[in-house]
Structure 1
């Protein structure tokens, strides 16, 4: 195969075929709106699939097309060239659709930023973080990549309704599920307990993703009787994957998500202010329940959920991370500027170690701390304000529209909050950040269509 690809004539023929097929796709997209819409959804679906979870999928060729390769210091030049060529080709093929669909994009962005000004400031803070980073070029490239993910999410949210977004969301999760069932440990060997990581690289991230997948498909089945059997089968398969992931936190998360959905019909009937307070109280209670079960009840934690009494050592190195953040409390270390093992002794996070096992963490195992590492307590404060704003917008949308679509923003925000207490992924080239932007944009547009 390498000898064939090394033949200039073969390469010329392949290039010619690529150009011909590219022109055919471009012409079809330009002339057929339905085909254009389908092709766009497939392209965005592949993009979301690639960045699924906090790790992204860990199977070829998607690892080469993950946006993070652009700012990864160890990425080879040929990988970056192929990455840019792939996404550049997609943009060219989709350009007729993007031109027609992007006509009202700027007003939509302005409305989105007006409904979430703290997030607007956060994005500005992110974009200029190269100014205080020890590795400014890495941070600058990371900011471009994060903005890429953000703008794709903005476009998707502006272009499609919650019904269409729900379809994209659950089908992407379905393909992650099916591929993970086929390859239970695609990138790593199973640990001694035989726990699965699927195609997401880590068993905890995989288990959380399976909890989300199961909930999404069960919800879809509950509101679509004709497709209920299919939806429930997929949901059960996701629960099997969750069980194989061996994550106690994901089991608690599943219960919390079910409890949340069960309360939405009641919350819809409350005044917006009381519904907002109720949702916040539910989130606080969920956090407390998670802490109690995972940290304080030794009989449950050690005996049933296979955990130790320190959240598997996290609470032993979190204070060290806080100390490092306090060295740069306002600004942090810049995007992708703190966890840099490739710098050796110059790695800012190098001294952080879990004292009991000498485990060297690759990240904070907490999405809020990782965000503070990048952008300081100032950046974290802006994000937390944005989170509460989006909870409020989610409550307003819940009272206006019908379930299940009206409940999706609050469902996602609860999921993201709970999974980032003991893992990471709030911010960056992750599907969690992607869907957070979708929620912010879509609820902003939906809640400003009328006065509330």
Structure 2
């Protein structure tokens, strides 16, 4: 059987994660200057789809080479079946989509992103996965910083109302803010683990400072709130490792503090959002959401097909755009997007999988009492926060991270079993010496 050298797989995964989490191709091909990048022009560039297709193809090959092991692992993941049925529905949705060609092409991309994430999540030990992810996040942080300092035409927005806001390698400042919020908290968690040591850990600390700076430089309300909320989640997750009585006291105290903060924000909403240059209507989002739920009610069961609602002239979204009075590009909410794409049937499948993954991530922390088990729970909170006011759920990087969070429990349980039994688990891939000393 064909065997791929393990070090080539490491390089492939690190490059793939960096590419999907923050490559600058969209930004550069779109011209850079201005407030927004013309994605229609950027998408026409052959480089981005070419590299994506190559990464997807190699991932599929990697899955085929060890399909027995991967199938065995998926059997222990209750949400895996829900995800498979959901993806099948995505593929079939081109049959009832208003734009079947768009639905068909985009569903292939989603399947490819799933293949990459499944290969990444099931072919390596969990600590290896975290290493690869942290390395990719650190590289992305440095590149975003360099774009802002050395290439301000691309790395900084120039048109009102976002003049001077950093966007790094992304097309908008909000994406940079959200991504750096995730990076900051992930690197914070890494400080409490032994996954990296010595100079590597010092480099992680430096990257964390850079990512925190970029959250502020992006002037993104979502990024700032996400950083605060995920940091709070980190403390809650640590409290879950305590004895039952201590856990109740700690979680109750944190919850009470968070509740008081939310109450203060609600009672001073105008002043709070005004400090960030926002209104209580969430920049017009509260106006379009009722219209979108009305459109969902017109096709409640199967929706408008994957990516079939937002399309060219003549799309169902034109009605919403007329009501809103501006060219609404998406639902500005990832969970509403699910219902538009696949109706309540697809919504129930996805939301069930999402809920199981979230509860499982909390259960793993309580069960293993290991700091490295916190990553999936924080990732789930990030996905919730980043999809409340933006439609990021089906974007390549967010979907890859969601699949990883869904499947990571398999590896955590395997590692936890090893730590408790001091025996080598049949399903854990052979780990080279340099990766096993963590």
TM-score, normalised to structure 1, is 0.76
- The answer to whether the 8 A contact 1:50-1:62 is kept is no
1:239 maps onto 2:212 in alignment: yes
- The answer to whether the 8 A contact 1:57-1:200 is kept is no
Instruction: Note the C-alpha offset of 1:134.
Output: 1.5
Any idea what the Cα deviations from partners look like across 1:389-415, whole Å, max 9, x if unmatched? 112211222123353311111110011
- Secondary structure, aligned partner of 2:16: helix
RMSD of aligned C-alpha atoms? 3.7
Instruction: Note the 1:319-330 alignment, pairs <5 A.
Output: 319-330=290-301
Any idea what the Cα deviations from partners look like across 1:355-387, whole Å, max 9, x if unmatched? 78x432211111111111111122122211111
**Structure 1: how far apart are the matches of 2:354 and 2:84?**
12
Instruction: Note the C-alpha offset of 1:268.
Output: 2.2
Q: 1:82 to 1:387 in 2, by over 3 A?
A: closer
**Structure 2: how far apart are the matches of 1:376 and 1:288?**
36
Any idea what the Cα deviations from partners look like across 1:280-333, whole Å, max 9, x if unmatched? x96x9979967974895211210x212112111111111111111111111111
1:166 maps onto 2:130 in alignment: yes
Instruction: Note the C-alpha offset of 1:131.
Output: 1.7
Which piece of structure 1 moves more, 242-251 or 78-87? 78-87
**5+ residue gaps, structure 2:** 32-39, 418-438
**Structure 1: how far apart are the matches of 2:158 and 2:262?**
26
Residue number in structure 1 paired with 2:433? none
- The answer to whether the 8 A contact 1:321-1:364 is kept is yes
1:300 maps onto 2:272 in alignment: yes
1:124 maps onto 2:96 in alignment: no
Any idea what the Cα deviations from partners look like across 1:123-169, whole Å, max 9, x if unmatched? 22222111211222221222222111112211211111221111121
1:143 maps onto 2:114 in alignment: no
Q: 1:381 to 1:288 in 2, by over 3 A?
A: farther
1:269 maps onto 2:242 in alignment: yes
Instruction: Note the C-alpha offset of 1:174.
Output: 1.7
2:361 to 394, 403, 406: 394
- Secondary structure, aligned partner of 2:26: coil
2:8 to 30, 39, 42: 39
Residue number in structure 1 paired with 2:370? 403
- Secondary structure, aligned partner of 2:119: helix
- The answer to whether the 8 A contact 1:252-1:290 is kept is no
1:201 maps onto 2:157 in alignment: no
**Structure 2: how far apart are the matches of 1:45 and 1:102?**
22
Instruction: Note the C-alpha offset of 1:417.
Output: 0.7
Residue number in structure 1 paired with 2:429? none
Residue number in structure 2 paired with 1:431? 397
**5+ residue gaps, structure 1:** 1-29, 64-71
